[in-house]
Amino acid sequence: MLLPIAGKPLILHTVERAREAATVDEVIVATDDERIFDAVTAIGHKAVMTSSEHQSGSDRIAEVARYLPEGSIIVNVQGDEPVISPATIDAAVNALLADPNADIATTCEPIGSLGDLLNGNNVKVVIGDGGYAIYFSRSPMPWPREASLRYGGDPNQAIGEEPELLSNFRKHTGLYVYRREYLLEFTQMPQTALEKLEMLEQLRALEKGAKIRVVDATTRSIGVDTEADLELVRAILEAEEKAHELVA
């Protein structure tokens, strides 16, 4: 979160992107790290110190949400998303506001390669005809049965030979929008067996009957999980900085 990118810590890029979203009234960084708290507040942004015992991001933001007004809409943006699109945030917020039946809204994007599909760090989401999530998994889903049969039952070979099959898969990007009251209710629910098995908290919501509206992200998301991710977002943000300087 504090690694420098284009002259400022990574977390500050994420904060600035979130503040640009038209639907966002206030940005609060919830953290249990005083260094992050200091970096954020030193230039006038808002941060709240939270417990270090939380098991998930939802638990952490729920601690802050308890003190926000009833009826608030809470957007959970992961701090390691320095190039998140404000338009994506707005799309997810507006999707929840437009759907009184939805408890949560989240986002997805295309999967571009077989390697991305097979990477267990990339969570896949299966979406029904109504636009709600049916399941989330670290495994490739749904199974392309007919295509796999053409290659001896091997779906990986089928996708390698027929890359257009990738259009059947969607990557979950991890941005969540909650109604405050549902967030507080959700974080009091005990973990479920599927959640523990896949280590995906959204499965708890599905198992407990939540309706999760899924909308397309407007641009590709890049969570900074590796050194390669860091270098990629550095290149993107430094190029943007140079472009702004040329315009100025």
pLDDT over 80 (residue 247): no
Amino acid at 64: V
pLDDT of residue 248: 57
pLDDT of residue 9: 93
pLDDT of residue 66: 95
Which pTM value belongs to this model?
A: 0.90
Mean pLDDT confidence for 114-122: 89
Least confident of 24-33, 165-174, 221-230: 221-230
pLDDT over 60 (residue 221): yes
pLDDT over 70 (residue 191): yes
For the chain, domain boundaries: 4-247
Least confident of 128-137, 143-152, 191-200, 212-221: 143-152
- Least Cα distance to 9 among 46, 50, 38 occurs for 38
Mean pLDDT confidence for 182-200: 94
Q: What is the pLDDT of residues 9-59, one digit of tens each?
A: 999 999 999 999 999 999 999 999 999 999 999 999 999 999 999 888 899
Reported CATH class of domain 4-247: alpha beta
Residue 177: burial class (beta carbons within 10 Å; 0-12, 13-18, 19+)? buried
Report d(CA 202, CA 237) in Å as an integer.
30
Report d(CA 200, CA 56) in Å as an integer.
10
Q: What is the pLDDT of residues 69-93, one digit of tens each?
A: 999 999 999 999 999 999 999 999 9
pLDDT of residue 157: 87
User: What are the start-end ranges of the H helices in the chain?
Assistant: 10-19, 34-41, 57-65, 86-98, 114-118, 145-149, 155-161, 180-186, 193-198, 202-207, 227-247
Task: Please give the mean pLDDT across all residues of the chain.
Answer: 92
Mean pLDDT confidence for 196-202: 94
